[in-house]
């Protein structure tokens, strides 16, 4: 190879390397640019509301949005207990009505 061809190849390689470096710098600058907004104001508000919702905790430190897996089973137990209480109240009311009829008050 002649000296001219070698110099042309080296020059072209240097230009390509510098071009790639500048492209990389501009891509990094684009992603690091803090002043640009990538979300609309509505999207930003919705994201903020979602963050605020997930940032709330109860007194035990459990997030308020968290629903334990045992929640459905607990709901069934509560419903069954309420049914038993209701039946007991009906029986108590029946007994009170009978006593009321007997005493004639």
What are the pLDDT digits (tens) for 36-49?
667 788 988 999 99
| pLDDT > 80? residue 88 | yes
The backbone torsions φ and ψ at residue 36, rounded to the nearest 5 degrees and listed phi first, read -80, 140
SS (H, E, C) 42-75: HHHHHHHHHHHHHCCECCCCCECCCCCCCHHHHH
Residue spans of the domains in the chain: they are 1-35, 70-105
| pLDDT > 70? residue 34 | no
Which comes out higher in pLDDT, residue 71 or 48?
A: 48
Alpha-carbon span 15 to 97, nearest angstrom: 102
- The pLDDT score that the predictor gives to residue 91 is 95
The number of residues making up the chain comes to 105
């Amino acid at each position: 190879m002649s000296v001219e061809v070698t110099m042309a190849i080296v020059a072209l390689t240097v230009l390509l390397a510098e071009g790639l470096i500048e492209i990389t710098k501009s891509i990094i600058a684009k992603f690091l640019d803090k002043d640009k907004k990538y979300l609309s104001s509505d999207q930003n508000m919705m994201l903020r509301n979602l963050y605020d919702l997930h940032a709330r905790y109860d007194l035990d430190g459990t997030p308020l949005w968290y629903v334990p897996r045992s929640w459905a089973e607990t709901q069934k137990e509560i419903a069954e207990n309420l049914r038993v209480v209701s039946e007991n109240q009906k029986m108590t009311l029946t007994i009170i009505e009978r006593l009321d009829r007997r005493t004639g008050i």
